[in-house]
Amino acid sequence: MKKIIIICLFLSNLSAFAAESWQKDLEEWKQARSESLRKPHGWVSLVGMEWLYKGNNSIGSNPESKIALSHGPENIGVFNLDGDKITFTPSTGVDIKANDNPVTEKIEVKMDSSGSPTVFTVDTFQFYVIERGKPALRIKDSQAKTLLEFRGVEYFPVSEKFYVDAEFIPYQPAKEVEIVNVLGLISKDESPGKLEFKLDDEIYALDVLDAGDSYYIIFADRTSGRTTYGPGRFLYADKPKEGETTTKINFNKAYNPPCAFTDYSTCPLPPPQNRLRAFIEAGEKKY
């Protein structure tokens, strides 16, 4: 009897430790998420996405600039688009940097698709070229009204119900998944498999994308457009440990895409198979 009591106490303590561990991890994640959103040039500071056209594209606060900024130097410089090549030539006397190095003459510009984009900083602005079917300049401002008035995000109460066991079921071969973004552009990604889980006695599954050490999930559910962001939310889940097939999905970490905070981002939308019938009342609420 004494052994049984000791074992029960041990299991109880182990369970309590596990619960405390994942909840502590969640609080640390929320803190990091808050700090990320409040960064001077984080997503909440996004103020523009301007297409680059063939030839010269001037930028500055001069209203006649092709890319007109709300403040800062009148004439910052010129982006030139020639086929697949983009260059930037600074205006005389302007204090502008590219990847923290002063720019005093014409330089070649790398897009974000290269993995190491050329990031410009001038006055309170940061901008770099992205590829969304064609090149565009993504512009952030540390003095953006959206950032200065940002008061944080609201969460559902933490619930262990939405910290679920999931079985990873691989696709043999990997499945091609079409991801549409808010601009209507389609990209094709490979899904290595799906995570299958039970919620309220029903079985659900989510196609995942490979994100290195974890799986990336774009999903929507029956709270979407009601209490959570309409188009859907994002989530990461750890990959199963070596030799195992199970992992955890913590929907308490479901978060809003950048499009929930700004009109100038180009977020991907959940594929049809990732639109759940369940009410996932966990994670970030509608901003």
For residue range 229-283, list pLDDT tens digits in order: 999 999 999 999 999 999 999 999 999 999 999 999 999 999 999 999 999 999 9
Q: Are residues 236 and 258 in the same domain?
A: yes
**109: pLDDT strictly greater than 60:** yes
Q: How many CB atoms lie within 10 A of CB 187?
A: 12
- For CA atoms 36, 39, 44, 50, the dihedral sign is negative
Residues 6+ apart with CB under 8 A from 15: none
The secondary element (H helix, E strand) that includes residue 272 is none
pLDDT band at 80 (very low <50, low <70, confident <90, very high): very high
Residues 179 and 230 in one domain: yes
| Domain that includes residue 52, residue range | 43-148
Q: What is the pLDDT of residue 115?
A: 86
Model pLDDT, residue 18: 59
pLDDT computed for residue 2 by the predictor: 52
Is the residue at 222 inside a domain?
A: yes
- Give alpha helix (H) positions in 124-247: 145-148
Label residue 90 by pLDDT band (50, 70, 90). very high
The model scores a pTM over 0.85: yes
Q: Which residue type, as a one-letter code, is found at position 101? A: N
7 is a domain residue: no
Rounded average pLDDT over 177-197: 95
| pLDDT band at 20; cut points 50, 70, 90 | confident
Is 177 in the same domain as 215?
A: yes
Nearest alpha-carbon partner for 153 in 38, 238, 64: 38
Please report which residue ranges of the chain form alpha helices under DSSP H: 2-37, 145-148
Listed residue (69, 47, 67, 68) closest to 142, CA to CA: 47
Number of helical H runs and strand E runs in the chain: 2, 17
Last residue of a domain, one of 107, 133, 148: 148
Co-location of 66 and 144 in the same domain: yes
Residues 131 and 84: beta-carbon distance below 8 Å:
no
Q: Which residue among 102, 117, 148 closes a domain?
A: 148
Mean pLDDT of the region 112-136:
95
Note the pLDDT of residue 19. 67
Does 36 have pLDDT greater than 50? yes
- Positions of E strands within 142-232: 163-180, 186-199, 202-210, 214-219
Residue 245 covered by a domain: yes
In a shared domain, residues 181 and 268: yes
Question: Are residues 82 and 191 located together in one domain of the fold?
Answer: no
**Same structural domain, 168 and 251:** yes
Residue 83, in any domain of the structure:
yes
What is the C-alpha separation between 84 and 114, in angstroms, rounded? Answer: 12
Domains in the chain: how many in total?
Answer: 2
**Given 115, 148, 181, which residue is the final one in a domain?**
148
Is residue 138 domain-shared with residue 174, that is, in the same domain? no
User: Is 164 among the domain residues?
Assistant: yes
State the pLDDT at residue 1. 55
Q: What is the CATH number of the domain that holds 111?
A: 2.60.200.20
My answer on whether 264 and 167 are in the same domain is yes
Same domain, 70 and 92: yes
